[in-house]
Amino acid sequence: MALNIRKIGVVGAGQMGSGIAHVCALAGLNVLLNDVSADRINAGMATINGNMARQVSRKRISDDERQAALKRIAAADTFDALGDCDLVIEAATEKEDVKRSIFTNLCSSLKPETIVGSNTSSISITRLASSTDRPERFIGIHFMNPVPLMELVEVIRGIATDDQTFEATKQFVTKLGKTIAVAEDFPAFIVNRVLMPMINEAIYTLYEGVGNVEAIDTAMRLGAHHPMGPLELADFIGLDTCLSVMQVLHDGLADSKYRPCPLLVKYVEAGWLGRKTQRGFYDYRGQKPVPTR
């Protein structure tokens, strides 16, 4: 009998965490949103409110649904506040030491049967599970960005994840109206294993002078029918995240084809991380984005 998941904890109120809380609340689940400060939680709540208002204006949901969903989300200032959750999803930054530290501190606050999930886009689920007191109740639940719009969730079992946890997680993802892709626990799973090397190759194409930013993005939009060019997409994802995933692939698979492009490294060192810092492969500080190369 799979655990019935009714109450969700989300650790991390940034872009991904607020998106996960958003879709859970709309699906009728109660959500507790946690982050390191009240300011961050409030910013996450404001993002959710704004995104739901946009869905109302586009007639995707009714205003009644929006108001009901917002009432299901509450702030959790501490891990102890997540004590009665059935599932807690970590959506912190894509750094293994940060995630491990969260799991080490979180688990003592939870019920023994609580499932712990990670929204990691690339890090070993088996390795993250080893920093918890419940590897059999630990699983990868990788949502795509932006969560309210993207239909897919990758579900990744670690070596110790038991069948009950797997079944309960699949039921939970289905309840959110998302489609599941089950991935094995190899570096970057499915989506990023294919997507990130493509983005990295686009950056190499820029680095080697094969085309400028505009030419590369136009070529892939119109030549391969991608909705967004790879460099524009990299800016949207965050160049630091792209670099982290490429490093995980390179370290985990030891294949030179996953070597991060030196230009990607340089942009990250400059703090030009894409949209979130107003500069990446495009400069977002004016009326419209301008290529930086």
Residues with catalytic roles: 121, 142, 154, 192
Tokens coding 156 = 């990744």
Preceding peptide of 146 cis, ω within 30°: yes
User: How far apart, in whole angstroms, are the C-alpha atoms of residue 33 and residue 16?
Assistant: 12
The residue among 85, 82, 84, 55 whose CA lies nearest residue 67 is 55
What string of DSSP letters covers 41-109? HHHHHHHHHHHHHHHHHTTSS-HHHHHHHHHTEEEE-SSGGGTT-SEEEE---S-HHHHHHHHHHHGGG
Burial (Cβ within 10 Å: 0-12, 13-18, ≥19) of residue 18 = buried
For residue 258, the 8-state DSSP code is G
Is 182 strand, coil or helix?
A: strand
User: How far apart, in whole angstroms, are the C-alpha atoms of residue 97 and residue 30?
Assistant: 29
User: How far apart, in whole angstroms, are the C-alpha atoms of residue 212 and residue 292?
Assistant: 9
